[in-house]
Amino acid sequence: MSASTSKTKSKAKSRSAVGAPSQHSQSSRKGKRAWRKNVNIEDVEEAMEGMREEERVTGKPLQKTNDSNLFFVDVTGDEEIRKSIPKSLTSQTTAAKILAQRSAVPAVFSRTTSSGKRKAAVTKEEKERMLRIAKRPRKGPFNSIVDPTEFGAGSAVIGVTEAVKNSGQFDPWAADEEQEPEVPEGTERLQKMPVKAPMHIQPRKIIEVPAVVEPHLGTSYNPPADAHRELLLKAHEIEEKRISEAEKLAEVKTRMEKARVDADDGNSGVPGMKVDIATAVEEEQEPAEIFSKPTPERKTKQQRRKAAKVLAERRALAHRAANKRMLSTIDKVKALRKEVKMNSAKYDAERQQRRLLAEAKLKKGLSGQKLGRHKVSEGQVDVQLGEDLSESLRALKPEGNLFRDRFLSLQHRGRIEPRALVLPKKQRTRTVEYEKHAWKKFDRQQ
């Protein structure tokens, strides 16, 4: 009886508390192998089993879980929590209770599964295309077999093109998206920096000249006397200015021609070439005395030391004078700073005033201003004299040119650039006569 009880006690002790396989009872532990095999590690197994239980319930050990996921302050309470708690059923079997305990750790599969998305199924069009390539019979409506010799139903790959598939996706009026070019790593400094466009105000955005300017009252077929007189004076001033400029240009041309003639008067031969005039040479000419610069004598050591000492003294005096001037200006720093601020404010105000004047002038248009190589024409004043005026529309004579007015309006509003007037030239045809070789020798032929 005592022997049997001792055997049962040893078997009970050999079993682990966490369900580990039982170790064989061994009374002796003299060898190292027996000692290592039968060491007691029940406390370690209990801790490991506790961590496994936490991982089965929560998905990961509580040591790796944040405090915010473990604890929270419940102020109001959750009314729906009672519905989520499973009710304990007295009639539930033990097998159902075991199956109800689901682990949070995902199950291990024996085969590998792809982590990516599921491959899309083959479309109907793709399936038909593959059947055409493989020359398999394809069923049409009412389970009829499609004839492979029919056009578009054979082995040829005839289907919807990519252009048709992508139709409606391109917007030609949409703004182009600036795509930054890919720069290789480490070559940022070698790439050229993009040049930014200057933010200048366009003149045509400031100009307030209408496309069709309202004509002057003096241009009417029956104008008021004051308006007609004012327009005549304006046309007279423009014509007088044009004549004065033409006279100045003619005077400059005459001066240039006169200077050219005076320069060519004393020259013989080809005009413009200067010829040296031979002068009488005296028979006896005394040879000119040649003065040679004496070579400087070599300085002694004493003279070089003296010159170096004088140079050092001069440099010291110049440095002292410069320091004195700098120290004298230190006391005037505040006054100088104040003067600089006043001058800068004055320059800014003048620049702002010049800008406002330029904008005010630009609002009236570009008439009379020079843009590039040419000047914008001011246009002509269309006015009739008093004796040419007609008091009725029947006897009215048209004045001006609508095309010219429209062209000048586009230039004044900055829509087109000014251009020089190019007059058409007539093509001059020159007749060239040739005498044939046979007609040159008509005497011999006779």
More confident residue, 418 or 155: 418
Domain finish residue from 38, 64, 90: 64
Q: Which is more confidently placed, 87 or 129? A: 129
Neighbouring C-beta atoms of residue 153, cutoff 10 Å? 15
Residue spans of alpha helices (H) in 79-218: 81-84, 94-100, 124-134, 162-165, 203-206
Interatomic CA distance for residues 420 and 373, integer angstroms:
9
**Residue 231 is assigned to a structural domain of this protein:** yes
Query: The domain containing residue 41 runs over which residues?
Result: 23-64
- Rounded distance, CA 40 to CA 18, Å? 13
First to last CA, the chain: 173
Phi, psi of 371, deg, nearest 5: -125, 110
- The answer as to whether 159 is a domain residue is no
Residue 153 covered by a domain? no
Pick the more confident residue, 213 or 190: 213
**Considering its fold, how many domains does the chain have in total?**
2
**Per-residue pLDDT tens for 131-141?**
878 878 777 77
Calculate the alpha carbon distances from 442 to 432, 433, 434, 437, 446 in Å: 22, 18, 16, 9, 7
- Tell me the pLDDT band of 372, cut-offs 50, 70 and 90: confident
Residue 256 has pLDDT above 60, yes or no: yes
pLDDT in tens, 21-42: 655 565 666 666 666 656 677 8
Query: Does residue 294 have a pLDDT over 70?
Result: yes
State yes or no: pLDDT of 245 exceeds 70: yes
Q: What's the confidence (pLDDT) of residue 346?
A: 93
- Domain-located, residue 17: no
The mean pLDDT value for 254-258 works out to 93
* Tokens encoding 255: 């001066």
Average pLDDT in the chain: 78
> pTM for this one?
0.40
Task: Please determine, for residue 94, whether its predicted confidence score (pLDDT) is greater than 50.
Answer: yes
Q: What is the Cα–Cα distance from 193 to 432, expressed in whole angstroms? A: 63
Chosen domain end from 64, 90, 114 = 64
Does residue 187 form part of some domain?
no
- Identify the band that residue 20 occupies on the pLDDT scale cut at 50, 70 and 90: low
Condensed to tens digits (0 to 9), the pLDDT of residues 312-337 reads: 999 999 999 999 988 888 888 888 88
- Lowest-confidence pick of 37-46, 138-147, 160-169, 404-413: 138-147
Q: How many CB atoms lie within 10 A of CB 218?
A: 22
pLDDT for the residue numbered 309: 96
Q: What digits encode the pLDDT tens for the residues 153-191?
A: 444 445 567 888 888 888 777 766 666 767 777 777 777
Contacts with 41 (C-beta within 8 Å, 6 or more apart), sequence order = none
Whether 371 shows a pLDDT value over 50: the answer reads yes
Q: In angstroms, rounded to a whole number, what is the distance separating the alpha carbons of residues 51 and 45?
A: 10
Which amino acid would we find at residue 369? Q
pLDDT confidence tier of residue 220, bands split at 50, 70 and 90: confident
Q: In which region does residue 175 sit, left (phi positive, over 0), alpha (psi from -120 to 50) or beta (all else)? A: beta
Q: pLDDT at residue 151 above 50?
A: no
Least confident of 2-16, 133-147, 286-300: 2-16
**DSSP classification of residue 421:** -
The amino acid occupying position 250 is: A
Neighbours of 401 (CB within 10 A): 12
Within a domain: residue 323? yes
Predicted pLDDT at 311: 96
Phi, psi for 135 (deg, rounded to 5): 55, 45
DSSP secondary structure letter of residue 139:
B
- Amino acid identity for residue 435 in this structure: E
pLDDT computed for residue 154 by the predictor:
46
Task: Indicate the DSSP class of residue 71.
Answer: -
300-322: burial string, b at 16+ Cβ within 10 Å, e else: eeeeeeeeeeeeeeeeeeeeeee
pLDDT in tens, 336-368: 888 999 999 999 999 999 999 988 988 888 888
Instruction: For 266, list phi and psi in degrees, rounded to 5.
Output: -80, 5
> Cα separation of 232 and 219, whole Å?
10
Q: What pLDDT is recorded for position 64?
A: 86
Question: If pLDDT is split at 50, 70 and 90, which confidence band does 13 have?
Answer: low
- Predicted confidence (pLDDT) at residue 76 exceeds the cutoff of 60: yes
Q: Which is more confident, 179 or 62?
A: 62
Checking if the pLDDT of 17 tops 70, the result is: no
Residue 415 above 80 pLDDT? yes
Percent of the chain with pLDDT over 90: 17
Q: Assess if residue 424 is contained within a domain.
A: no
Name the more confident of 403 and 74: 403
